[in-house]
Amino acid sequence: MTRGPAPESLPQDRETPDAWFGRIFLYRRGRMAAFMMLLLFALLIGIHSLRVAETRDEADTALHLLSRPAAGVQQLLFDAYQRVLPRQRRAQTVAVVGIDENSLKVVGQWPWPRSQLAELIDTIARYQPAAIGLDIYMPEADQTSPERVAARLAPEQSALADALRRLPPHDVQLARSLHAAPTVLGAAGFNFATFGTSDGLQIAPMRVRGGDALPYLDRYPQVLASLPQLQSAAHGQALVSVRDDAVVRRMPLASAVGQVPAPSLAMEMLRVATASPAIDIMVDRHGIRALAVADLTVPTQAGGDVWLHFAPEAQGAQSRNISAIDLLAGRVAGDALASKLVLIGLTGSGLNDRRVTPLGESVAGIEIQAQLLESMLDGRMLLRPWWMAYAELGLLLGLGGLMILLVPPALARVDAQGQRRPRRVGWWVALVCAAALAGGFWLFHAQGWLFDGAGMSIAFAGVLASLVSSSTLEVQRDNRRLAAAEHALREQAARLAGEMEAARRIQLGSLPDAGTAFPGETRFAVSALIEPAREVGGDLFDFFMIDDRRLCFLIGDVSGKGVPASLFMAVTRTLSRSFATRLPGGPAEIVSAANRDLSSGNVETLFVTMLLGVLDVETGELELVNAGHDAPWRLAVRQEPRQIVAPAEAGGPPLCVLDDFSYTLQRLQLAPGECLCMVTDGITEAANADGELYGSTRMRRALAQAGDDGGADAIVRSLREDVGRFVAGAEASDDLAILVVHWHGPARDERQTGPRRTVVRLSAG
């Protein structure tokens, strides 16, 4: 039986997609993700803007798909330019003869007999126009022509058929009219062969200057043109194809049928009108630069097309547009078409030849040709110079890179409360986008240039969104880290609090308990209290019997607080107790020995103030050594408390101040019933909320009241309560300790009556 892999052999830390994306967006504060976003926008905009010509072969399908988003945004912006600033029609040299609904009602449905069309052309020719362009192609013979009708008659109608055959064919009539007038026939380019198409067109040659124009032109392998006899009769042939866009924005001035350049209807009409031998196509290394005929040069895009600047259809329509039936009926003024470029086309709403312009208007196809001619003659063509796309990409990458460099620090700026406050980042980016759009409007108005500020603005918004997302992820990451750190700190604090509480219990438990230290003792009483400012502290006290009649007691204060002070306190207490039980020389020798040992291992450079005394509990004789500690208080019934001030030659500095110092002692004689009260500076320096110290005066008053109440416990309790009332809940700044020794007198069977004298003697330790 085969076993699977052990659980530990399986991958445990496989990175999730969310984590991977998070690392990408957080790398270098989001700059890498923002730079990738910027490059993506630059790629999409560049694919659309830098393609020389929008070819329709299959190899370019992917580029078309990729460029659609950028093209859509750009087209909406350019349409907005035109809606805000439409072209104002100035040229009065273009006229449109429309086969409108009124004409169809009178003459009949379309297509009309070619004899009727010939009559229309003859009528227009009598007005002596500069050129006549037909936005109509007639690839089949006229089925209403007399010979066609005669062929369909029955044999018994032979007389009628012979009479019809003697009439001139309609196509012949139309050819004569086309030849007699300066006419140009239109044709439609096709990318596939279908009924009526051919692979050639009778066109006047076009001169190409500066290079090969074919790679840049729209090319059609097939063309749907009029009958050859009509082509031969007309003075020019032209393509009227419009790109299959929902909105007509651009029109080619030249295309190619197979390998032969072919002019647009507008350019060919200008050639015929000026009797020019050819149209010039000017090519440079960026593509087609311009088309020229006679003395008119029209700048173009690299593909030989132009952006149309549209005027509202209603602007000047009455003076330019003429109904065909009005012309045939003689209802048009004699100079209405003189020396004008006349376009003939279908304008009836039911003829399926409608186009949408950037102005949002649905117009007849012939209106597009008229607008193109007017724009050329007005000199108001729109243009995107070849360098415009490079300038846009340069601005996009330059300003986008500047954003990527400057925005992250602004987003990460932290205020005094620790909150991130990005300073007007969105406003600055919005200002840059507004400047790009406003600059585009100015270039459109002043130069007729098309600058794409919309794509740039969307790119900037995308980059800003990426940077803001990265900043948000960074904040979330930092918050998670802070939360984890806070949780760890809470756990650590809880552990430390537990450890410190244990240390507190150990420290307080290591101190003697006055209530149980001397069971059955009647000669004296001891009471003590200690309160560390933190969990553990540096104040200490101790009391123990050296032998049957000598009581050793001490109180001390280690510099500092917390664990170091508590450890030093424990060492001080241990050494003092050890030396007290081993050395016979008394308090001075005990303190001197403790000072030497503490100084030798004092790596933390701490010091200890200490008051150590030995009381003969049978006689009341007291020996004291004060090592820099607060002087003790002597209390007797019905007497004022008084501080025991050591003579100048007694005592010494705190322990560890001088390494090898010999301390001297002070001797006192206590009377039965007297108390000795010792405190650390946590009592006298206790402060209230106003910063006022408790001080010796208040302590004297508190001890005076406590001394009248009786024993050691009462003194400790009364003093602590008085200090508590004074500080009124203010936080303690130092450890405090109180030690009271109450000498009752010798054992009852050994007591002597009579007054005792207080003897003070000094001796070296």
Instruction: Give 678-701 pLDDT, tens digit per residue.
Output: 999 889 989 998 889 999 999 999
Residue closest to 81 by CA, chosen among 405, 442, 472, 390 = 442
- What is the phi/psi pair of residue 245, to 5°? -105, 150
Using DSSP's 3-state secondary structure scheme, residue 765 falls into: coil
Backbone angles phi and psi of 108, in degrees to 5 = 125, 175
Q: Which of 33-42, 524-533, 611-620 has the lowest mean pLDDT?
A: 33-42
Lowest mean pLDDT of 107-111, 159-163, 230-234, 431-435, name the range: 159-163
Q: Model-level pTM?
A: 0.65
Q: For residue 243, give Cα distances in angstroms to 55, 239, 288, 469, 491.
A: 11, 12, 18, 41, 73
Strand partners, 524: 743
Partnered with residue 287 across adjacent β-strands are 284
Q: How confident is the model at residue 236 (pLDDT cuts 50, 70, 90)?
A: very high
Categorize the per-residue pLDDT at 64 as very low, low, confident or very high, splitting at 50, 70 and 90.
low
Residue 52 one-letter amino acid: V
Q: Residue 691: what pLDDT?
A: 86
* 102, amino acid identity: N
Q: Which amino acid is at 412?
A: A
Backbone angles phi, psi at 656, to 5 degrees: 80, 5
pLDDT number for residue 510? 81
565, 605 contact by CB (below 8 A): no
Q: Is the pLDDT of residue 751 over 60?
A: no
Q: What pLDDT is stored for residue 462 in this prediction?
A: 81
**Of the given ranges (368-382, 599-613, 650-664, 748-762), which has the lowest mean pLDDT?**
748-762
Q: Which residue has the tokens 């007389």?
A: 159
Three-state SS string over 599-656 comes to HHCCCCCCCEEEEEEEEECCCCEEEEEEEECCCCEEECCCCCCEECCCCCCCEECCEC
Are 760 and 666 a contacting pair, CB within 8 Å? yes
Helical ranges in 412-554 per DSSP H:
425-447, 453-510, 514-517
Report helix, strand or coil for 737: strand
**Distance set, CA 74 to CA 46, 69, 79 (Å):** 12, 9, 9
Taking alpha carbons only, the member of 38, 52, 41 closest to residue 384 is: 52
Which three-class secondary structure state does DSSP give residue 532? coil
DSSP string across 262-292: EEBHHHHHHHHHHT-S-EEEEEETTEEEEEE
Q: Which of 24-38, 146-160, 545-559, 569-583 has the lowest mean pLDDT?
A: 24-38
Rounded CA separation 169/74 (Å)? 52
pLDDT in tens, 537-582: 778 899 999 999 999 999 999 887 777 888 888 888 889 999 998 8
Q: What is the mean pLDDT of the chain?
A: 85
Confidence band, pLDDT 50/70/90 cuts, at residue 160: confident
Q: What is the C-alpha to C-alpha distance for residues 720 and 738, in angstroms, rounded to an integer? A: 8
Grade residue 200 by pLDDT with cuts at 50, 70 and 90. Answer: confident
Q: Which residue has the tokens 């409108």?
A: 100
69-73, 130-134, 520-524, range with the lowest pLDDT: 69-73
C-alpha to C-alpha distance for 90 and 636, rounded to whole angstroms: 123
Please name which of 184, 276, 272 lies closest in space to residue 230, comparing C-alpha atoms: 184
Contact 620, 591 (CB under 8 A): no
Please name the residues in contact with 210: beta carbons below 8 A apart, sequence gap of 6 or more.
282, 283, 284, 289
The 10s digit of each residue's pLDDT in 658-678 is: 988 999 999 999 999 999 999
**With 60 as the cut, is the pLDDT of residue 63 above it?**
no
Q: Model confidence at 755, in pLDDT bands (50, 70, 90)?
A: very low
Q: Over range 447-473, report the average pLDDT.
A: 83
Q: What pLDDT, on a 0 to 100 scale, did the predictor assign at position 233?
A: 95
Task: Name the one residue in this structure whose structure tokens are 């004291």.
Answer: 624
pLDDT-based confidence at 164, cuts 50/70/90?
confident
Strand bridging mode 94-99 / 341-346:
parallel
Mean pLDDT of 296-320: 89
Q: Tokens in use for 80?
A: 């907005």
Question: Using 50, 70 and 90 to split pLDDT, how confident is the model at 22?
Answer: low
Q: Could you read off the pLDDT of 705-727 as tens digits, one per residue?
A: 886 666 899 999 999 999 999 99
Q: Is 226 in contact with 197 (CB distance < 8 Å)?
A: no
In the chain, the percentage of residues whose pLDDT exceeds 90 is 49
Pair 666, 623: CB distance under 8 Å = yes
pLDDT tens profile 349-401? 767 778 899 999 999 999 999 999 999 998 888 999 989 988 988 898 888 88
Question: Which one-letter amino acid corresponds to residue 588?
Answer: A
Burial 672-706 (b: 16+ CB within 10 A, else e): eebbbbbbbbbbbebbeeeeeebeeebbeebbeeb
- Angle CA(35)–CA(37)–CA(43) in degrees, nearest 5? 100
Residue 12: pLDDT over 50: no
Contacts of 741 (CB under 8 A, 6+ apart): 524, 525, 526, 543, 551, 553, 613, 615, 675, 676, 678, 712
Burial (CB count <10 Å: 0-12, 13-18, 19+), residue 424: exposed
Question: Between 467 and 398, where is the model more confident?
Answer: 398
**Which residues neighbour 384 within 8 Å (Cβ) at sequence distance 6 or greater?**
301, 307, 449, 450
Amino acid letter for position 46: G
Query: What CATH number was assigned to the domain covering residues 522-747?
Result: 3.60.40.10
Q: At a CB cut-off of 8 Å and minimum separation 6, what does 204 contact?
A: 236, 237, 263, 268, 271, 277, 278, 279
Query: CA-to-CA distance for 746 and 658, rounded, in angstroms?
Result: 39
Confidence band, pLDDT 50/70/90 cuts, at residue 5: very low
The pLDDT-based confidence of 15 (bands split at 50, 70, 90) is low
Structure tokens at 491: 């756990």
Q: Is it the case that residue 616 has pLDDT exceeding 70?
A: yes
Looking at residue 29, what is its pLDDT? 61
Distance between CA atoms of 372 and 381, rounded to whole angstroms? 9
Query: Does pLDDT of 301 surpass 90?
Result: yes
Domain boundaries, given as residue ranges, for the chain: 41-49+387-510, 86-378, 522-747
With tokens 């709403």, the residue in question is 349
